[in-house]
Chain A
Amino acid sequence: MKAFLRKEWMETLRTGRLLILGIIFFIFGLMNPAIAKLTPWLMETMKDSLAESGMLVGEVTVNAMTSWTQFYKNGLMCVIVIVLMLSGVLVNEYMKGTLVQVVTKGLSRRKVFFSKMITVYGLWTLMFLLYFGVTFGYTVYLWPEDKPENLVFGAACYWIFGMMLLAFLLMFSAMANNAGQVLMGVGGVVAVLFFLNYVPKLQKYLPLRLTEGLSLSMGGLAAKDFVPAVIISCICVVVCGIIGVVTFDKRNL
């Protein structure tokens, strides 16, 4: 498995996937505090034109919370980017037929699937750390005195949400024949989650709750309110993993 994992990382590096993801997540991470910092200036420059249309702009105050609000808003973009970039992680190999040789060389299908899992989860973890780290560092630099509470727990919840979607991505990859089908599967899961979120009683169980880490820092929700969603998401990761492995064992390469 070590050999196939090394191949995965070589691919991530040489195809430029790591570089592209790194740049995107770095820019996203940087944008959160930057936009917060620039908001007063933007409002000031637009003041006159807004006044003409009857809107009055008062004093705009920004702080570290403004930056973290942006962090949660852009978090969804990060998830979309990683899902798009990794949608072909397995299906591209079926389409090209590259797995036939490694499997006939004696590499077990489970090792192939676990290597893909480690790569996908590893990349997301690395990229999310970069995203969080850049936002955290730049926000502390701009507003050194201002330190919202529960930042790490809130961010960790977002990371779990990403892990859950990637678990679905891997499971659909074991079943699908092309990246489009994988994306449709993951998109379908998100659509179902948004739909179920209309039912107030379900909200605290749905993984979507994990994207609301901002409420932790603003005081709307407590850490215990996230526990059911964390448990449900972890169960999803495990169940998707099992279904993925079993399906991949029997699929036509």
Chain B
Amino acid sequence: MNTNVLEINGLKKHFGEKQVLQGLDLFVPEKKVFGFVGQNGAGKTTTMKIILGLLAADSGMVSVCGEKVHYGNTKTNRFIGYLPDVPEYYSFMTPAEYLRLCGEIAGMPAEEIKARSTEMLELVGLGSEKRRIRGFSRGMKQRLGIAQALLGRPKLLICDEPTSALDPMGRKEILDVLVAAKEETTIIFSTHILSDVEHICDEMALLNGGKVVMQGTIEEIKQKRRSTATELRLEHEADAKALMRAFTDLPKMPSGDLILNDPCKLPEIMRYIADNRMEILRIEKQEATLEDIFLETVQKTA
């Protein structure tokens, strides 16, 4: 049975007048890539900082691998690897020197630091980089961030919007590295880029208004909102108009597709099309995208 690496119960946090988290509950099972999705300002970074003991919560409970998280010096950080949204390093160091510092801080044996640093730098494509970090691009810094986060074989890897500030090439590189890292750790991946979630996540939680409004596997979430609508495209415009006259609840989308919301009417429509010898270009069941679900949920709870 899968256990939860991370459990959050009733987490609340406010900044001044603004209530950022309003009783957030979240459970992250082991060995999954978990998408933490929400608009900018939804409270993703705040939640992550509380998990890391970098921010104090107003109320609620956070536990990592069964141990409670405390603000300030929290021991639970030994289970966690963290990649901030814009990672900053000591620019006067080389990547290998920085990883050595991280390894020593984490209390790893010297031999292991050496072997693991080489392995991680190879994984993120910085194996041959001997320059100091000062001259690194954003993508290179992000990749080094993953290397340092994975160095100590954490049980939980927290990535705060790792792809948001990158170009398509850099994004792909990071996603590939995360997919490779999936073998050894549980990953929480906060983002507002839904295609990235679809690409690499097993499960996701949708954060809105300081609460988790939806959580489950990507398939479950899509299933919940699986549309029953059917898209219909006819060859000739005149046929489409005739069909719309015959069936009133068959709206036409800007793309030219006719949308049928009631599936019971489909046989009747098909019969009409056959009787009138209309030519069909396409007939397809509509699939809900994560984007649709996201927008719909955000609007509903707004």
Residues of B within 8 A of A107 (CB): 105
The distance in angstroms between the C-alpha atoms of A106 and B53, with both chains bound, is: 11
9 closest cross-chain pairs (CB), A and B: A3-B104, A14-B92, A107-B105, A97-B88, A104-B82, A105-B105, A96-B88, A98-B88, A105-B106
Q: Does A100 contact B (CB under 8 A)?
A: yes
Residues of A within 8 A of B148 (CB): 101, 105
Q: Does A225 contact B (CB under 8 A)?
A: no
List which B75-132 residues lie within 8 A (CB) of chain A.
75, 77-78, 80, 82, 84, 86-90, 92-93, 97, 100-102, 104-107
Q: Does B2 contact A (CB under 8 A)?
A: no
Q: Does B72 contact A (CB under 8 A)?
A: yes
Residues of B within 8 A of A253 (CB): 54
Residues of B within 8 A of A4 (CB): 101, 105
Q: Does B55 contact A (CB under 8 A)?
A: yes
Given known A-B contacts A4-B105, A10-B93, A108 and B55 have beta carbons under 8 A apart: no
Q: Please, which residue of chain A has its CB at the minimum distance from the CB of B71? A: A250
The distance in angstroms between the C-alpha atoms of A100 and B73, with both chains bound, is: 12
Other-chain contact of A97, B71, B78, B86 (Cβ < 8 Å): B86
**Can you spell out 18 A-B residue pairs with CB atoms less than 8 angstroms apart?**
A2-B104, A3-B100, A3-B101, A3-B104, A7-B93, A10-B97, A11-B90, A15-B92, A98-B89, A100-B54, A103-B54, A104-B52, A104-B82, A105-B77, A105-B105, A106-B106, A109-B73, A253-B54
Are B73's CB and A252's CB within 8 A? Answer: no
Residues of B within 8 A of A98 (CB): 88-90
Residues of B within 8 A of A14 (CB): 92
Given known A-B contacts A98-B90, A106-B78, A249-B73, A7 and B55 have beta carbons under 8 A apart: no
Given known A-B contacts A11-B92, A97-B86, A102 and B102 have beta carbons under 8 A apart: yes
Q: How many residues of B contact A (CB 8 A)?
A: 30
Chain A interface residue number, banded? 20 to 34
Q: Does B38 contact A (CB under 8 A)?
A: no
Are A104's CB and B101's CB within 8 A? Answer: no
Q: How far is the CB of B83 from chain A (nearest CB, A)?
A: 9
Are B105's CB and A102's CB within 8 A? Answer: yes
- Mask for B221-241, Cβ within 8 A of A = 1, else 0? 000000000000000000000
Q: Does B152 contact A (CB under 8 A)?
A: yes
Are B84's CB and A101's CB within 8 A? Answer: yes
Q: Please, which residue of chain A has its CB at the minimum distance from the CB of B152? A: A105
The distance in angstroms between the C-alpha atoms of A101 and B102, with both chains bound, is: 8
Interface residue ranges, B against A (CB under 8 Å) = 52-55, 71-73, 75, 77-78, 80, 82, 84, 86-90, 92-93, 97, 100-102, 104-107, 148, 152
The distance in angstroms between the C-alpha atoms of A4 and B97, with both chains bound, is: 12
Given known A-B contacts A3-B101, A11-B90, A101 and B82 have beta carbons under 8 A apart: yes
Secondary structure class of chain B's binding surface, majority of residues: loop
The distance in angstroms between the C-alpha atoms of A108 and B84, with both chains bound, is: 19
Residues of A within 8 A of B52 (CB): 104
Q: How far is the CB of B185 from chain A (nearest CB, A)?
A: 15
The distance in angstroms between the C-alpha atoms of A234 and B93, with both chains bound, is: 36
The distance in angstroms between the C-alpha atoms of A211 and B88, with both chains bound, is: 41
Residues of A within 8 A of B102 (CB): 101-102, 105
Residues of B within 8 A of A104 (CB): 52-54, 77, 80, 82
Residues of B within 8 A of A11 (CB): 90, 92
The distance in angstroms between the C-alpha atoms of A7 and B100, with both chains bound, is: 10
The distance in angstroms between the C-alpha atoms of A103 and B106, with both chains bound, is: 10
The distance in angstroms between the C-alpha atoms of A15 and B71, with both chains bound, is: 33
Residues of B within 8 A of A110 (CB): 73
Residues of A within 8 A of B152 (CB): 105
Residues of B within 8 A of A103 (CB): 54, 77
The distance in angstroms between the C-alpha atoms of A35 and B105, with both chains bound, is: 49
Other-chain contact of A7, B82, B86, B88, B90 (Cβ < 8 Å): B90
The distance in angstroms between the C-alpha atoms of A11 and B101, with both chains bound, is: 13
Q: How far is the CB of A13 from chain B (nearest CB, A)?
A: 9
Known: A101-B84, A109-B73. 16 other contacts (CB 8 A): A3-B104, A4-B101, A7-B101, A100-B54, A100-B82, A101-B89, A102-B102, A103-B54, A104-B52, A104-B53, A104-B80, A105-B148, A107-B105, A110-B73, A249-B72, A253-B54
The distance in angstroms between the C-alpha atoms of A96 and B87, with both chains bound, is: 9
Residues of A within 8 A of B72 (CB): 109, 249-250
The distance in angstroms between the C-alpha atoms of A123 and B89, with both chains bound, is: 23
The distance in angstroms between the C-alpha atoms of A253 and B73, with both chains bound, is: 12
Residues of A within 8 A of B88 (CB): 96-98, 100-101
Are B92's CB and A3's CB within 8 A? Answer: no
Q: How far is the CB of A22 from chain B (nearest CB, A)?
A: 18
The distance in angstroms between the C-alpha atoms of A166 and B101, with both chains bound, is: 27
The distance in angstroms between the C-alpha atoms of A229 and B61, with both chains bound, is: 50
- Mask for A9-29, Cβ within 8 A of B = 1, else 0? 011001100000000000000
